[in-house]
């Protein structure tokens, strides 16, 4: 309830600041990712990986079906009051033998999830990734590491799901610095 009240107040404040702007105010959800479908060889075989990762990230399993013909899992983070959802779906049998090829058209390069802090990245690595790798459910590409090539303070761990799809868990304080610079330029 407090979050909704905060969002309402934020919206109202934004509207008030528009003054004589000709463009009408837009929803806070406009342009956000609504849903993403990730295709895997077997949803039931991938379940331990996605359950551990998504549960840690605050997602909840809101729908699923397992079986020979069609499998899926729908994961949703209710806490942020957006329609965002990630679905894990079974590959079409015609294409199930085709393995993920990084850089190929139609294949995602990698997906990165935001961490709260460096400690959050470390905790995710130790509590989620290390046990998953020991159980054979993922491959860790890089343990938590500073990535100065992406900006000061960029700290991440990189890993792969059972089908070789690449993921990242990252804290990137540069976003706030870039946003502040942008806001200063716009204010002038």
Element at 66 (helix H, strand E): none
Same domain, 46 and 123: no
- Among residues 29, 165, 166, 8, which one has the least CA distance to residue 84? 29
pLDDT higher than 50, residue 110: yes
pLDDT category of residue 78 using cuts at 50, 70 and 90: confident
Residue 7 in domain: no
* Across 6-30, average pLDDT: 50
For residue 12, count other CB atoms closer than 10 A to its CB. 11
pLDDT higher than 60, residue 3: no
* pLDDT for position 174: 86
Residues 6+ apart with CB under 8 A from 40: 46, 88, 89, 90, 91, 161, 162, 163, 165
* Residue scoring higher pLDDT (29 or 145): 145
29 neighbors 83 (Cβ within 8 angstroms): yes
Distances (CA, A) of 119 to 62, 66, 106, 163, 170: 29, 35, 34, 28, 11
Domain extent, residue 171, equals 107-188
pLDDT higher than 80, residue 30: no
Q: What's the domain count of the chain?
A: 2
This prediction's pTM: 0.79
* Across 45-68, average pLDDT: 94
Element at 142 (helix H, strand E): strand 139-146
Q: Are strands 72-76 and 60-65 parallel, antiparallel or unpaired?
A: antiparallel
Residue 87 in domain: yes
pLDDT category of residue 23 using cuts at 50, 70 and 90: low
Over residues 124-137, the pLDDT tens digits come to: 999 999 999 999 99
Residue 9 in domain: no
Same domain, 112 and 183: yes
pLDDT higher than 50, residue 2: no
């Amino acid at each position: 309830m407090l979050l909704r009240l905060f969002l309402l107040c934020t919206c109202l404040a934004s509207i008030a600041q528009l003054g004589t702007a000709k463009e009408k105010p837009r929803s806070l959800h406009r342009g956000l990712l609504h849903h993403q479908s990730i295709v895997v060889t077997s949803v039931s075989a991938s379940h331990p990986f996605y359950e551990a990762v998504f549960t840690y990230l605050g997602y909840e399993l809101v729908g699923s079906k397992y079986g020979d013909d069609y499998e899926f899992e729908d994961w949703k983070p209710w806490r942020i009051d957006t329609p965002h959802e990630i679905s894990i779906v079974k590959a079409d049998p015609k294409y199930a033998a085709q393995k993920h090829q990084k850089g190929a058209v139609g294949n995602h390069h990698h997906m990165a999830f935001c961490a709260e802090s460096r400690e959050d990245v470390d905790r995710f690595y130790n509590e989620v990734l290390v046990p998953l790798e020991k159980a054979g459910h993922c491959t860790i590409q890089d343990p938590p590491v500073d990535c100065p090539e992406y900006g000061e303070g960029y700290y991440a761990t990189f890993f792969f799901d059972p089908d070789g799809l690449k993921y990242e868990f990252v804290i990137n304080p540069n976003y706030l610095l870039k946003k502040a610079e942008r806001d200063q330029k716009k204010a002038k």
